[in-house]
Amino acid sequence: MAGIAAFLMRRRSPVGLYIRLNASLWKWLPSTLRNAELMRAYGTILHKLVCRRADRRQFTGTFFYRNRPQLELMRRLTGRKPEGATLNIAILGCSIGAEIYSILSTIRAARPDLNVRVCAVDNSAEVLNVAKEAVYTSQLCDLVGSSIFERMTEGEFEEMFESDGRAARVRSRIREGISWHLGDAGDPDLMRVIGRQDLVVASNFLCHMEPAEAENCLRNMARIVKPGGHLFVTGVDLDVRAKVAHDLGWRPVLELIEEIHEGDPSVRRDWPCAWWGLEPLDKKRADWQMRYASAFRLNEDD
């Protein structure tokens, strides 16, 4: 009952009404007006208010090939590996597996010679099992609240899946080399469990944490990146990411920085009225490269 009462109070509060009214009006504004400097400043203030009031919780909704420019940058970076090299990748908060198989499909198509080994980590046994089974149905799409295939072309779907019309299973050649770990990205013991990695990917779960928890988690992730390796981190409070990147001396990867920032329309369109929304890229900021980069080169002095 106390939870219901708190929910009703939030619904009736003047601040809650103000946010809901802004959310309704914002989507009707022309893009030229939304992108005007004064409106962006207003949106920043509104987003901070939304974040302070947020009842943050994790979501399992996602898509295959969610951010194509990000996948392209991974392809370019791994393309620099020597012939026949081993590539170790950790995908943290891997959820139902769409990101795992999108990354593996991209890299294996470009570099079939590489020995790719993936550590898939999530703190939910249920979603980890879905990812491991690699079978996707319309019922699963209903469960996560979206069609996880909607950003794929027909050719990409055929390349990735074996389908009988009722269920789609990721092809075995794409699923090779994955180890599955039930664990928390913020666990200090994570490096001992999975070892250091050439590439660490943390997408779309840090924004659902309170800032202090997200910062601690991000610092812990950095420890498992090999010297000179790369960390990809999206779906995170930009103040948190920029602070940690600055404190730890990360080097932002500038290649495709703007394309990746705009590469996931589902988070860009939800700013400023949802806590997971991603603000427009602003090159007038002195720190814009550090703030808006989603890929970093780490631990070069280790």
Chain segment 75-98, per-residue pLDDT in tens: 999 999 999 999 999 999 999 999
Q: What is the pLDDT of residue 7?
A: 45
Portion of the chain with pLDDT greater than 70, in percent = 91
From the centroid of its chain, how far is CA 160?
Answer: 21
Residue 174 has pLDDT above 70, yes or no: yes
Q: How many other CB atoms are found less than 10 A from the CB of residue 78?
A: 22
Q: 133: pLDDT confidence band, cut at 50, 70 and 90?
A: very high
Residue 6 has pLDDT above 60, yes or no: no
Between CA 178 and CA 4 the distance in angstroms is 43
- Residue 214's alpha-carbon distances to 181, 202, 229, in angstroms, are 20, 11, 21
Residue 189 lies in a domain: yes
If one counts the domains in the chain, the total is: 1
Residue 157 lies in a domain: no
Provide the token pair at 276: 């997971």
Q: What is the pLDDT of residue 130?
A: 93
Residue 292 lies in a domain: yes
3-state secondary structure of 133: helix
Between CA 56 and CA 240 the distance in angstroms is 16
| DSSP bridge pairs for 225 | 197
Residue 151 lies in a domain: no
Sheet with 115-122, strands from edge to edge, namely 178-182, 115-122, 86-92, 197-203, 225-234, 295-297, 251-252
Residue 123 lies in a domain: yes
Q: What is the pLDDT of residue 148?
A: 86
Global pTM value: 0.90
Mean pLDDT over 36-46 rounds to: 90
Range of the domain at 240: 68-131+174-297
Residue 15 lies in a domain: no
Residue 59 lies in a domain: no
Task: Choose between 60 and 220: higher pLDDT.
Answer: 220
Mean pLDDT over 103-132 rounds to: 96
CATH of the domain at 255: 3.40.50.150
Residue 227 lies in a domain: yes
- Residue 47's alpha-carbon distances to 28, 44, 217, 258, 294, in angstroms, are 17, 5, 23, 21, 20
